[in-house]
Amino acid sequence: MDRMILKQMTFFGYHGVFPEENKLGQKFIVDLDLRINLSWAARSDDVADTVNYADIHALVKEIVEGPPVKLIEALAGRIASAVLGTYTIIHEATVSVTKPNPPFAITFDGVTVELRRTRDKAGNIVAVEE
């Protein structure tokens, strides 16, 4: 299966468990790895035969900059559900959400959550089992 990868999409949101995160907000970085058959687009050179990555970026931006959630796991889940629910041409989505500056009294480069979702035979969005 082919892949479309959107890297380091950076947004500002108000997600987090701590009240200051919901009040002050912070930067979030999202990576998407989409499993999609790109053979038609490779032959046709027509955007109608693929997924417009500018549209995907706009969808992710709307979610990250939208209503807050407490956990980045929930944020990643919203993104995966929206992407797979909107674009049936996408077979599987791996979503990584990074909070580069969590408000902790320890030093590290951030925390990342990654999840993979696909559709089952009934069309329901489900976790990918390894």
Provide the pLDDT confidence category of residue 49 given band limits of 50, 70 and 90: very high
What's the pLDDT tens digit per position in 50-77? Answer: 999 999 999 999 999 999 999 999 999 9
Would you call 22 helix, strand, or coil by DSSP? helix
Among this protein's residues, is 70 annotated catalytic? no
pTM, rounded to two decimals = 0.94
Other beta carbons within 10 Å of 60:
23
What's the pLDDT tens digit per position in 100-118? Answer: 988 777 778 889 999 999 9
Q: Which residues of 87-96 are buried (b: 16+ CB within 10 A; e: fewer)?
A: beebebbbbb
Catalytically annotated residue among 7, 23, 99, 121: 99
Measure the CA–CA gap between 39 and 27, rounded to whole angstroms: 35
Domain count, the chain: 1
Asked if residue 2 has pLDDT above 80, the reply is yes
Residue 87's CATH number: 3.30.1130.10
* Residue range of the domain that includes 54: 3-127
Least-confidence region, from 19-23, 78-82, 114-118: 19-23
pLDDT at 109: 82
